[in-house]
């Protein structure tokens, strides 16, 4: 099979018939063998009934329904598991992504041997409450990941099948799939300017809570990707640094008192100096961080996936 189109959705019953008909038209015109995987993320409208009807009309349409709303990341993860195509295309169900972009995305994945292509909605029709946080996230993600993409969160993306079968998406991590793919060893990541259409049906599902969750998930991805298999390098280094800073400060306070006594000058007790208590805090915090790193290292070494590596090719 050439292409799998994965569409996560939540309360999009109005747009589904038009979207699936548009995708089918593009596939037929380009002689692609394809499937459309629709993941109903706990919709409360008639989305699932619409999917059942569309399935009867087009056998290429597959449907997965969640019992409740789990979020876009969970929907994508389940959709990725269900795909069978050589190239996987993801798009939103609100008709803001154009299926006409699919042939070029497919061509580039195949001809340029790319792992992932992320869409770039250069001209957007979203409200400022969505575009401003998106720009901040994109700038922060570029800085932390080293991936030069302008729009990490664009729903329209194309992947080699190997990519979606390897990575795991959870929480709000769908915003940072290119970062997850890079940590997994898929470095051939590119970008393509795509059309962004004004919303035709329904309302946006974007809320302020996603701004906070997205930032926390970015920190999680950065930490797990960099120190997931060697947590002692992170916690241990900070712990040792904090511990020795505390030791140096405490020694300074003690030596200063002894020098003043030797010179016959007035002095304060060690316990009357703020620096002494700061040094104690630094020593305690350093010890705790070192122990945290030690425990995390033990857990990491006993994890079942501790020696799981991604092998791309092998000759025997």
pLDDT by 10s per residue, the chain, length 316? 999 999 999 999 999 999 999 999 999 999 999 999 999 999 999 999 999 999 999 999 999 999 999 889 899 999 999 999 999 999 999 898 999 999 999 999 999 999 999 999 887 766 666 667 777 778 878 887 788 898 888 889 999 999 999 998 877 788 889 988 988 889 999 999 998 877 666 666 555 556 666 667 667 766 766 666 677 777 888 899 999 999 999 999 888 888 888 888 888 887 788 888 899 999 999 999 888 888 877 776 665 554 454 545 554 5
> 3-227 is classed in which CATH architecture?
Alpha-Beta Complex (3.90)
- How far apart are alpha carbons 250 and 299 in whole angstroms? 33
Tokens at 155, concatenated: 């729903």
How many CB atoms within 10 Å of residue 53? 13
Would you list the domain boundaries of the chain?
3-227, 231-301
Contact 75, 66 (CB under 8 A): yes
> What pTM was estimated for this model as a whole?
0.73
- Phi and psi, residue 126, nearest 5°: -85, 155
């Amino acid at each position: 099979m050439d292409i799998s189109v994965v569409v996560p959705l939540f309360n999009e019953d109005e747009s589904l018939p038009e979207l699936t008909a548009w995708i089918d038209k593009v596939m037929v015109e380009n002689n692609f063998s394809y499937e459309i995987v629709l993941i109903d993320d706990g919709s409360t409208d008639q989305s699932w009934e619409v999917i059942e009807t569309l399935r009867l009309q087009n056998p290429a349409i597959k449907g997965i329904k969640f019992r409740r709303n789990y979020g876009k990341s969970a929907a994508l993860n389940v959709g990725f598991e269900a795909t069978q195509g050589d190239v996987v295309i993801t798009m939103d169900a609100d008709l803001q992504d154009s299926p006409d972009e699919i042939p070029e995305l497919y061509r580039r994945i195949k001809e340029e041997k790319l792992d992932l292509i992320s869409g770039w909605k250069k001209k957007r029709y979203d409200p400022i409450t969505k575009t401003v946080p998106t720009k901040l996230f994109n700038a922060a993600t570029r800085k932390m990941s080293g991936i030069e993409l302008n729009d990490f969160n664009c729903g329209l993306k194309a992947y080699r099948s190997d990519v979606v079968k390897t990575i795991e998406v959870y929480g709000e991590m769908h915003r940072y799939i290119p970062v997850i793919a890079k940590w997994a060893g898929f470095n051939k990541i590119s970008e393509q300017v795509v059309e962004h259409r004004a919303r035709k049906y329904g309302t946006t599902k974007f809320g302020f809570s996603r701004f906070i969750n997205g930032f926390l998930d970015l920190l999680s991805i950065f930490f797990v990707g960099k120190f997931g298999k060697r947590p002692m390098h992170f916690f241990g280094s900070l712990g040792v640094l904090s511990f020795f800073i505390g030791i140096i400060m405490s020694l300074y306070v003690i030596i200063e008192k002894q020098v003043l006594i030797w010179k016959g000058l007035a002095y304060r007790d060690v316990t009357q100096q703020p620096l002494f208590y700061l040094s104690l805090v630094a020593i305690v915090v350093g010890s705790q961080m070192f122990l945290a790193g030690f425990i995390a290292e033990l857990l990491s070494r006993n994890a079942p996936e501790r020696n799981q590596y991604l092998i791309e090719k092998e000759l025997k």
